[in-house]
């Protein structure tokens, strides 16, 4: 039977890396909900829309189509017909996305889209509120955490591999800031579902985390 797997956790906790590998192994769909909030934020930036203007942000959701395309190598993100996979990872988007994501009406729209994607099962979905709000009936719920230093180190290494030079302290501050905004917002704050299994991945390798989740799935 095809099940639903919800993977939640703070910024840079390794969710998407692990979720992608799991989806591939299981032959499931992978849905990166953070990418959807990022795409909306990117749209708001390009259209010069105020991040506090909830109604204008909801209108953007209604006027445009955010979608994914799975290739052999990676998951591509589209807004209408434009590919924005790289653009939504830029610092201007990263630094604004938590503000866009705090609005209740924006989240309601996003959750609706995500539930449509997840409805049939056979999905690995990662985000902040998957186990609590998007797929509350998911058969498997995982909550990934890692120390701030570890997460900043992972980001630093990732950036290095991409040839982007970044300052470690700045990365650490950005992660702390996003943690703060994501966990203190009034609507759907980052919170572990009561029936989620928490895995602290500090000092763990990716394969180790994947294995731990596979064990949880098989029990
Ligand atoms: O996972 P990622 O870091 O790409 O997510 C970007 C931002 O989108 C998060 O910092 C959070 O503000 C928002 N987000 C959210 N709910 C989700 C996924 C992401 O609010 N389910």
| Residue that the structure tokens 């988007």 belong to | 93
Q: State whether the beta carbon of 51 lies less than 6 angstroms from ligand 1.
A: no
Going from the Cα of 98 to the center of ligand 1, the distance in angstroms, rounded, reads 7
Q: State whether the beta carbon of 41 lies less than 6 angstroms from ligand 1.
A: no
Bridge partners of 82, per DSSP, are 79
- DSSP assignments along 203-215, one per residue: T--HHHHHHHHHH
Q: Whose CA is nearest to atom 12 of ligand 1?
A: 98
Note whether 74 and 83 are within 8 A (CB): no
Residues 102-116: tens digit of each pLDDT: 999 999 999 999 999
164 pLDDT more than 90: no
Domains, the chain, in order of start with CATH, read 4-218 (3.40.50.300)
Q: State whether the beta carbon of 128 lies less than 6 angstroms from ligand 1.
A: yes
pLDDT band at 218 (very low <50, low <70, confident <90, very high): very high
* Rounded CA separation 143/13 (Å): 9
* Rounded CA separation 21/35 (Å): 17
| Top mutation candidate among 75, 111, 112, 127 for ligand 1, by most atoms within 8 Å of CB | 127
Residue 180's contacts (CB-CB under 8 Å, 6 or more residues apart) are none
């Amino acid at each position: 039977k095809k099940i639903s797997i919800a993977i939640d956790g703070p910024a840079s906790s390794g969710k998407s890396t692990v979720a992608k590998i799991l989806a591939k192994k299981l032959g499931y769909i992978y849905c990166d909900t953070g990418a959807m909030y990022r795409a909306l934020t990117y749209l708001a930036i390009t259209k010069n829309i105020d991040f506090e203007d909830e109604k204008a942000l909801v209108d953007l959701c209604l006027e445009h189509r955010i979608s994914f395309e799975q290739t052999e190598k990676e998951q591509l993100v589209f807004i209408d017909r434009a590919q924005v996979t790289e653009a939504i990872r830029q610092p201007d988007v990263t630094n604004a996305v938590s503000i866009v994501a705090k609005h209740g009406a924006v989240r309601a729209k996003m959750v609706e889209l995500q539930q449509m994607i997840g409805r049939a099962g056979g999905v690995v979905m990662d985000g902040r509120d998957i186990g609590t709000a998007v797929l509350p009936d998911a058969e498997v719920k995982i909550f990934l955490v890692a120390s701030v230093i570890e997460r900043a180190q992972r980001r630093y290494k990732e950036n290095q591999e991409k040839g982007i030079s970044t300052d470690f302290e700045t990365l650490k501050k950005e992660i702390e800031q996003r943690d703060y905004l994501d966990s203190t917002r009034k609507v759907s704050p980052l919170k572990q579902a009561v029936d989620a299994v928490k895995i602290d991945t500090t000092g763990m390798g990716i394969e180790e985390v994947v294995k731990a989740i596979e064990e949880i799935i098989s029990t």
